[in-house]
Amino acid sequence: MNPRHQNYGMGWAVFVALLVFGIWSQQHAQSAAPGPAVQSKTMALTPSTISVSTAGMTGRLDGLTVITLVDTRTGKPVESPDLQATLRLRNATADQAICLLSGTVEYVDTAGAVIPLTKDQGSAQFSFYPDQQEGLLPGQGTSQALRVPFPQAALKPNTLRDIRLHLTYRATPYRSATVDGLVTVAG
């Protein structure tokens, strides 16, 4: 065999081997590279409790906090922030059952305008648990954990003024009636 062809073939073999090794080492390095170090950051809102009062319900929104995931190396958010709280409601009527259906949270700035969520956050709407939709009798209470999107713009100092809670519910008359039936004991 011609030594020139032998060196040419050997060169191609070395080139292909180096190419395969380079691709393998690059993939291995990418898979071994650590992902972003993520940490949950919690910010309390002041006050941490808001009173809730409608024509038929009383209660409060407790433990108002904003939770966001941040990259510990850059300090930048990895995900959009969320509002987390517990909604506690009590039927304050004397003669109605209240069926809780849904709710929406809005964020209001210092000028009184609603602070919008970004398109990728969706909406701050929530539904009540199915057992709460059956109805709260007079005097009964319930609670539900909420976690809804929070606008990034509201995290800036002196921007957020109010949290507005819209509740959708159905109040139905709760009546008590007595029925008499004439009976006798056979005998």
What are the backbone angles phi and psi of residue 11, rounded to the nearest 5°?
-65, -40
Helices marked H in 59-102: none
CATH number, residue 47: 2.60.40
Question: Does 183 fall in a domain?
Answer: no
Domain of residue 82: give its range: 38-173
Say whether both 68 and 146 belong to one domain.
yes
Residues 22 and 99 in one domain: no
Provide the whole-model pTM: 0.71
Residue 5 has pLDDT above 60, yes or no: no
The pLDDT value given to residue 176: 73
> Do 48 and 131 have their domain in common?
yes
Say if residue 152 is in the same domain as residue 168: yes
Whether 8 and 57 share a structural domain: no
Residue 87 to residue 39: CA distance in whole angstroms:
26
> How many folded domains does the chain comprise?
2
Q: State both tokens at 79.
A: 């995900």
Looking at every residue in the chain, the average pLDDT score rounds to 85
Would you say residue 130 has pLDDT above 80? no
For residues 81 and 103, membership in a common domain is answered with yes
Confidence of residue 129 (pLDDT cuts 50, 70, 90): confident
Whether residue 56 sits in one domain with residue 24: no
pLDDT at 36: 64
For range 32-54, the mean pLDDT = 83
